[in-house]
Structure 1
């Protein structure tokens, strides 16, 4: 009896020990602090509501250069450069989850250190014309090259936290994307599908051959929000004037219509149903894998307007990467760079592998492929993956001027969701076959626009 009692007491003690140990090791959820140090520069927005802050900001912008004693750009400088971030609301997605002992692993959000800049650093000016590298030439001058004024080379590429206008003009042709989209919309609506085969990814996607020989990828999904994610992400890219998405339209399939009758047997074999909406994306020849820049591969990732961060890749490609980081943050895309970062825990070489769903065309332009997780599925998984998105956004401090202007306008107007829907309805003939974006998703998108806006202002303070 005593022996049984002893075993019983030992069992109770062992169980209590395990429970106590587990309690000690439970993770702690820490929300980001809202405290900030402020310096008064004359625009008192602290404690004001969002409407008051918006009126103050709008007034300063409207006064900019309009005979109010302000030099051109000074109104914006007062808000963004000398008085940044005051009263701006934190995103609701920046939750940090420390693990067991309170330290952070690579899965948690982190602050990216910004290298020191010498106080006497000033871009050198010159009366000589700026000579920029060709858009497809990856051989940007590097520090230490004989006869190269590296500081001047950097100043030719960046202006503060913006890519230089000369560089941007050399990399992109204005209106090219709009023209290509219009042509694709007209072609896809009037052309017959004469061949249908596998070759556009997994599941029920199909490669189509049109009557004039043009090829297209058709995205067929039973889940409507994947179709929504793809098409609305495309139109968000157009709203941002980002030209890295292939021309895309919606099409309603009908095996009895002139456009689809030729391939009705193939449609049945693919288990396509009539009156379903598919996304048609123009096929692009000669695509090659694209790699993540060295600046963004490590845990100390940073793409900054400083000499050390611009010497390893062509400036035109880095400019596109700055847009990619913003675009993927806004739509919360899981299937591109975030995919590589997440899988690094199982494959240490993942960041040196080609970026997922990213290609490079024959002209050296990046193509942002397969955005179906954007704005919908990605938003449902923010609690799990927000730290990845945030670490990429925090690493970015050099931007396209046109992207900055649009982000600032969308942040101040507060109606990015309405503008996106309006553009979609205006330019997409089959818009009635797709549900509108839910208000909850529009609210998240607006918050993430605010996050990007805040990052731009933070960078201005550091580098201007």
Structure 2
């Protein structure tokens, strides 16, 4: 029996989004390393006491677009550990922003920003996560973790559930092209010629102390900026194609519902439109984004990356059947 570490259900995420849309912003604070990161972002408190991160990336709005599309992709996949995202417009005349002074934040009126759920149980100093030993072994040996690996190892139910979460992570980051989580560690190891970098705390990944749930935070690079970077004809972006592939192929342990949902998208003739329309149904402000070059790369490559993940899952199924 696999013990499940619960994240947020679709209904809980929808309730959060609808509630935050109606909330008046009570206070905005400058970001810190432990609260919302880079300059121009903001740590926000609403009138009901909710904590949010306001992601402001103008004129690089593809980062905000990537954040919200990555969130809705996680829903389509059945992955429940990506913080919820709601879009809003910076406008002092709107009830949400009434009495808020933007002068200290240099936010431009009319800009669309992302409000991102703060996961209360996390502490950026204490919730850091390293890759489990079994996955590190698979990464170095290029032999994936399979059912046979589990049977031959003393893995507890809790550890097994965590492995399934890592499988979800590798699928999600492969499909979004995220270069600022595990892939950034792989890049650091290559650049520094120091393989042990991959053993350090993983960027933009935190774990709840009580639930052991992994949380995939900071997904702004997903689908747009990441795709444009990875498939650019110049620079080192192409290295990340291999980084993502190598890490995906450490695992043959995946949640059944995620495997099913990957297959549904993989056989969809226009999966990018399926994702966009699903997101638009839940987030009308998406239509205000300009569809630039990064969006075009996403539409051209998303199906390709889905098929690559599906091919690996099929290979894992063959491996499993061979050893049964």
Q: Runs of 5+ in structure 2 lacking a partner?
A: 231-237
Aligned pair partner of 1:281 in 95, 110, 116? 116
2:130 matches 1:291: yes
TM-score w.r.t. length of structure 2: 0.85
2:218 matches 1:381: no
2:305 matches 1:448: yes
Aligned pair partner of 2:65 in 221, 228, 251? 228
Q: Report the CA distance shift for 1:247/1:309 in structure 2 as closer, same or farther (over 3 A).
A: farther
| Contact kept? 2:228, 2:297, Cα under 8 Å | no
RMSD: 2.0
Q: Kindly report which structure 2 residues correspond to 1:7-46, keeping only aligned pairs within 5 A, or say none.
A: none
SS in 2 for 1:195: strand
- Counterpart for residue 258 of structure 1: 95
- Counterpart for residue 96 of structure 1: none
| Contact kept? 1:180, 1:247, Cα under 8 Å | no
Q: Report the CA distance shift for 1:440/1:349 in structure 2 as closer, same or farther (over 3 A).
A: closer
What do residues 42-91 of structure 1 show as CA deviations (whole Å, max 9, x unaligned)? xxxxxxxxxxxxxxxxxxxxxxxxxxxxxxxxxxxxxxxxxxxxxxxxxx
- Counterpart for residue 336 of structure 1: 181
Q: Runs of 5+ in structure 1 lacking a partner?
A: 1-131, 133-166
Q: Kindly report which structure 2 residues correspond to 1:285-434, keeping only aligned pairs within 5 A, or say none.
A: 285-287=120-122, 288-297=127-136, 298-300=139-141, 302-306=144-148, 307-308=151-152, 311=155, 314-345=159-190, 346=192, 347-361=194-208, 362-382=210-230, 383-434=238-289
TM-score w.r.t. length of structure 1: 0.60
Q: Which moved more, 1:379-388 or 1:303-312?
A: 303-312
Structure showing greater Rg: 1
Q: Which moved more, 1:324-333 or 1:181-190?
A: 181-190
Matched length: 294
Structure 1 runs, 4 residues or longer, greater than 3 Å off? 435-440
What do residues 390-421 of structure 1 show as CA deviations (whole Å, max 9, x unaligned)? 11122221211111111122222222111101
- State how far apart, in whole Å, the 2-side matches of 1:310 and 1:455 are: 26
| Contact kept? 1:190, 1:259, Cα under 8 Å | yes
- Counterpart for residue 29 of structure 2: 197
- State how far apart, in whole Å, the 1-side matches of 2:242 and 2:316 are: 19
Aligned pair partner of 2:78 in 241, 244, 254? 241
- State how far apart, in whole Å, the 2-side matches of 1:291 and 1:308 are: 22
SS in 1 for 2:110: coil
- Counterpart for residue 85 of structure 1: none
Structure number with the bigger relative contact order (C-alpha 8 A, sep ≥ 6) is 2
| Contact kept? 1:303, 1:309, Cα under 8 Å | no
